[in-house]
Chains A and B, each alone.
Chain A
């Protein structure tokens, strides 16, 4: 029952919007004079990196900016021709949830933990005047519509009792409750696994075709934009640098920033294929139990000097458990890990210290994995305190400065604290810290997943350079298949604790043997609208 499609009737118009933020260091212009429109039944994606102003713009439409420190300095936001900014608050509130609705990135924190999900969906209807009974019935219908299994039973369940994908379905049900004309989705699939992401994107597309609503999607994932959008807007540092139909922007980007985003760096990453180095780690028949849960089943692989072994798989597949076992943060239930032919479980004394030096780690979250109360010099030199024989104290300063320069930071930053750095810089510090003990293997557990694309590219370039210069080997764990495809020499695909497939990267991605690998690759969207549309069709047929 799609309503009449008034072609080219603008649902949302943004005109010369300027948004300021008052920060401790002065005024910061988050959005600088941007204008765009979203027509009815149209999908528009805003792409850009964190700090580009894309989320601020979306939040401004729904009046969700925190004012202060935020302030809409000038410009206008019009919904169906009416200015939202000059509308009385009561009238605006009436539009929120009814005319315009929003889906957020992290459904766990954006759902209220203490109310049942059915109640939260029905609340939208009740706020907009529907009687309780009718609202509850409507909420049930919505849960069916977004694909929640057994909705009658799940109606009174709480957010923490759902999986990430189901939570996002509930957020979407909530947003769809009053059949909005415009749905704003702010990174709706960023926190989800690729196969779940593909299903959520399919759901959004289906709902859009059923209702004829417009979709404004905020994303940093070019593949997602290519998959869902009719038009894309590219934002950089608060400025709208490029916009146009998705095919033309992706095929022939005009602005250098867009071009930079779309550059394929696989050649650069694999500039030097590793020669067969000596064997460092041999992992065989690894089994790990958590109580009754069998987290890792019969996993075996090897890591040679200078080799990059990628491990891909969805959350809960056991990738990180394997990593922490290699790091000796956790003991395996059975199986062995040999380091230069010696079992690491039987290592002791000097040998054990030697192993702990040889294998270092870089973790996902550069915000929580660095102690905020230590300055960078202390963070780096802490390892030398624990391993005093590596470096005499008088050489600490010089070595720390050298490491900082090696990872592309200034030696003068050693006195600063982690809070003074950006996410990418912090990850560089984490890498420098991993290098303090001259390791042979660095375990990178989702080390670039939290970073923006260009920052990600910089870190990967850095890792590649360090491998070339220092002969490092990496165990590179990621859920981003495209990244692993470009970066790793060999790849393991994990599912429910087992390795379903492993081999040279080109073989696994080029001709996947396992059904799960094929599904995983198919679900991962590519940054090419035409190719992506084709893939979607074949996926639907299959």
Chain B
């Protein structure tokens, strides 16, 4: 296992390097931050001084060299807007996003396993048909629209929930509700499909011949076998959430990493953008290792 993690770590490191190079050059394509940072009436001298101080006047390859050297020293640069280390800002925002993502995924997984299994038990039955209709629509609803409509109904019209920000329990409800919709729909469909094929498998027949009650057949014998494909899709969905649910965080003014990234792009705050990408990339790498670990726990055949 440790050899495996080392190998995966090596592969991810290469990917990470490529990503950092790409982000560096792409972000510089957006233009010089000096124009955005300095006030409209700042003099040319002032602008020059600012650019020189932050190294924006150096040739690109010099900037890139400094960037790589600093990364090697675990120095990810300072945010020019916040005046503090960029990594600090990213690490502050990340847990906020992570908490949101975690709660959403736990809810999505739990609900989808329950609904998907029940739907699979009698494919084509009333419950299955209603569940299928709902999950198809929820998997295909755009989240920005849902977020706005949610605010309109629950905050503006009914006045039950706050429109944005954090603080109380009530602040969590709308963002989680909106984020939950798509993964829940998708996962329920995956659970349903893989449960249908698991329930048709010969070992389920064996379980029935043993005298196992229905609940045991579904949740002990079939479910564990169908979890492999569910975990693959769940990992994909979780990666999207960890990456910062950019749209939802922006709409709800959620101080997470997605929000921070958007702000950094708009302000050409390169250091912050790079730090954010690094943090999420590492998080996704760790999550993939977790998923591989879960695979091998679930299916002894993978353990070899």
B209 pairs with A114, CB closer than 8 A: no
Q: Does B202 contact A (CB under 8 A)?
A: yes
Which size class do A's interface residues fall under? 20 to 34
Q: A95 contacts which chain B residues (CB < 8 A)?
A: 211
Q: Does A96 contact B (CB under 8 A)?
A: yes
- Alpha-carbon distance between A428 and B283 when the two chains are bound, in angstroms: 57
Query: Which 6 residue pairs across A and B have the least CB separation, nearest first?
Result: A97-B211, A96-B211, A97-B210, A158-B300, A109-B202, A112-B203
Q: Pick from B202, B212, B216, B300: contact of A110, CB below 8 A.
A: B202
B299 pairs with A62, CB closer than 8 A: no
Q: Does A20 contact B (CB under 8 A)?
A: no
* Interface bits A95-112 vs B (CB < 8 Å: 1, else 0): 111100110101001111
* Interface bits B208-245 vs A (CB < 8 Å: 1, else 0): 11111100100001001100000000000000000000
Identify which of residues 97-142 in chain A touch chain B, using a CB-to-CB cut-off of 8 Å: 97-98, 101-102, 104, 106, 109-116, 123-124, 127-128
Q: Pick from A63, A106, A114, A174: contact of B210, CB below 8 A.
A: A174
- Alpha-carbon distance between A335 and B203 when the two chains are bound, in angstroms: 44
A106 pairs with B202, CB closer than 8 A: yes
A59 smallest CB distance to B (angstroms):
8
Q: A104 contacts which chain B residues (CB < 8 A)?
A: 202, 205-206
Q: Does A530 contact B (CB under 8 A)?
A: no
Q: Does A64 contact B (CB under 8 A)?
A: yes
Look across to chain B and name the residue whose beta carbon is closest to the beta carbon of A123.
Answer: B210
Since A64-B208, A93-B211 are in contact, a sample of 9 more A-B pairs with Cβ atoms closer than 8 Å, ordered by chain A residue number, is A62-B209, A106-B202, A111-B203, A111-B206, A114-B300, A115-B224, A160-B301, A174-B206, A174-B210
Look across to chain B and name the residue whose beta carbon is closest to the beta carbon of A114.
Answer: B224
Identify which of residues 110-145 in chain B touch chain A, using a CB-to-CB cut-off of 8 Å: none
Q: Does A94 contact B (CB under 8 A)?
A: yes
Q: Does B298 contact A (CB under 8 A)?
A: yes
A-B pairs under 8 A by CB, number: 71
Q: Does B251 contact A (CB under 8 A)?
A: no
B298 pairs with A114, CB closer than 8 A: yes
Look across to chain A and name the residue whose beta carbon is closest to the beta carbon of B212.
Answer: A127
Q: B201 contacts which chain A residues (CB < 8 A)?
A: 109
* Interface bits A390-432 vs B (CB < 8 Å: 1, else 0): 0000000000000000000000000000000000000000000
B211 pairs with A127, CB closer than 8 A: yes
A223 smallest CB distance to B (angstroms):
25
Q: A109 contacts which chain B residues (CB < 8 A)?
A: 201-203
Identify which of residues 250-304 in chain B touch chain A, using a CB-to-CB cut-off of 8 Å: 298-301
A residues contacting B by CB (< 8 A) are: 62-64, 93-98, 101-102, 104, 106, 109-116, 123-124, 127-128, 158, 160, 171, 174
A113 pairs with B208, CB closer than 8 A: no
B211 pairs with A112, CB closer than 8 A: no
B217 smallest CB distance to A (angstroms):
11
A64 pairs with B209, CB closer than 8 A: yes
B231 smallest CB distance to A (angstroms):
13
Instruction: Tell me what chain B mostly uses at the interface: helix, strand, loop, or mixed.
Output: helix
Q: Does B207 contact A (CB under 8 A)?
A: yes
- What are 23 residue pairs bridging A and B, where the CB atoms are less than 8 Å apart in the complex? A62-B209, A63-B208, A93-B211, A96-B209, A97-B212, A104-B202, A110-B203, A110-B205, A111-B203, A111-B206, A112-B206, A113-B225, A113-B299, A114-B224, A114-B298, A114-B299, A127-B210, A127-B211, A127-B212, A127-B216, A160-B300, A160-B301, A174-B210
A329 smallest CB distance to B (angstroms):
27
A57 smallest CB distance to B (angstroms):
15
Q: Pick from B208, B224, B225, B301: contact of A96, CB below 8 A.
A: B208
B304 smallest CB distance to A (angstroms):
10
Q: A94 contacts which chain B residues (CB < 8 A)?
A: 211
B227 smallest CB distance to A (angstroms):
9
Q: A93 contacts which chain B residues (CB < 8 A)?
A: 211-213
B169 smallest CB distance to A (angstroms):
38
Q: B301 contacts which chain A residues (CB < 8 A)?
A: 113, 158, 160
Identify which of residues 179-208 in chain B touch chain A, using a CB-to-CB cut-off of 8 Å: 201-203, 205-208
B221 pairs with A112, CB closer than 8 A: yes
Identify which of residues 20-72 in chain B touch chain A, using a CB-to-CB cut-off of 8 Å: none
Look across to chain A and name the residue whose beta carbon is closest to the beta carbon of B221.
Answer: A112
Identify which of residues 151-170 in chain B touch chain A, using a CB-to-CB cut-off of 8 Å: none
B209 pairs with A101, CB closer than 8 A: yes
B225 pairs with A114, CB closer than 8 A: yes
Look across to chain B and name the residue whose beta carbon is closest to the beta carbon of A100.
Answer: B209
Q: A113 contacts which chain B residues (CB < 8 A)?
A: 203, 225, 299-301
B206 pairs with A128, CB closer than 8 A: no
- Alpha-carbon distance between A271 and B224 when the two chains are bound, in angstroms: 56
- Alpha-carbon distance between A109 and B210 when the two chains are bound, in angstroms: 15
- Alpha-carbon distance between A106 and B225 when the two chains are bound, in angstroms: 18
Q: B299 contacts which chain A residues (CB < 8 A)?
A: 113-114
A124 pairs with B221, CB closer than 8 A: no
Q: B203 contacts which chain A residues (CB < 8 A)?
A: 109-113
- Alpha-carbon distance between A342 and B213 when the two chains are bound, in angstroms: 66
Look across to chain A and name the residue whose beta carbon is closest to the beta carbon of B303.
Answer: A158
Q: Pick from B205, B216, B225, B300: contact of A64, CB below 8 A.
A: B205
Q: B300 contacts which chain A residues (CB < 8 A)?
A: 113-114, 116, 158, 160
- Alpha-carbon distance between A64 and B208 when the two chains are bound, in angstroms: 7
- Alpha-carbon distance between A62 and B202 when the two chains are bound, in angstroms: 14
Look across to chain A and name the residue whose beta carbon is closest to the beta carbon of B225.
Answer: A114
- Alpha-carbon distance between A114 and B220 when the two chains are bound, in angstroms: 10
B207 pairs with A112, CB closer than 8 A: yes
**A112 and B210 contact, Cβ closer than 8 Å, known pairs A104-B205, A158-B300:** no
Q: A64 contacts which chain B residues (CB < 8 A)?
A: 205, 208-209
Look across to chain A and name the residue whose beta carbon is closest to the beta carbon of B205.
Answer: A64
Q: Pick from B208, B216, B221: contact of A62, CB below 8 A.
A: B208
A133 smallest CB distance to B (angstroms):
19
A299 smallest CB distance to B (angstroms):
31
Look across to chain A and name the residue whose beta carbon is closest to the beta carbon of B207.
Answer: A112
Look across to chain A and name the residue whose beta carbon is closest to the beta carbon of B210.
Answer: A97
Q: A102 contacts which chain B residues (CB < 8 A)?
A: 206, 209
- Alpha-carbon distance between A180 and B248 when the two chains are bound, in angstroms: 60
B208 pairs with A123, CB closer than 8 A: no
Q: B209 contacts which chain A residues (CB < 8 A)?
A: 62, 64, 96-97, 101-102
- Alpha-carbon distance between A445 and B206 when the two chains are bound, in angstroms: 31
Q: A62 contacts which chain B residues (CB < 8 A)?
A: 208-209
Q: B206 contacts which chain A residues (CB < 8 A)?
A: 102, 104, 110-112, 171, 174
- Alpha-carbon distance between A454 and B212 when the two chains are bound, in angstroms: 38
Look across to chain A and name the residue whose beta carbon is closest to the beta carbon of B208.
Answer: A64
A285 smallest CB distance to B (angstroms):
35
- Alpha-carbon distance between A112 and B211 when the two chains are bound, in angstroms: 15
- Alpha-carbon distance between A174 and B224 when the two chains are bound, in angstroms: 20
Look across to chain B and name the residue whose beta carbon is closest to the beta carbon of A124.
Answer: B210
Q: A110 contacts which chain B residues (CB < 8 A)?
A: 202-203, 205-206
- Alpha-carbon distance between A127 and B225 when the two chains are bound, in angstroms: 20
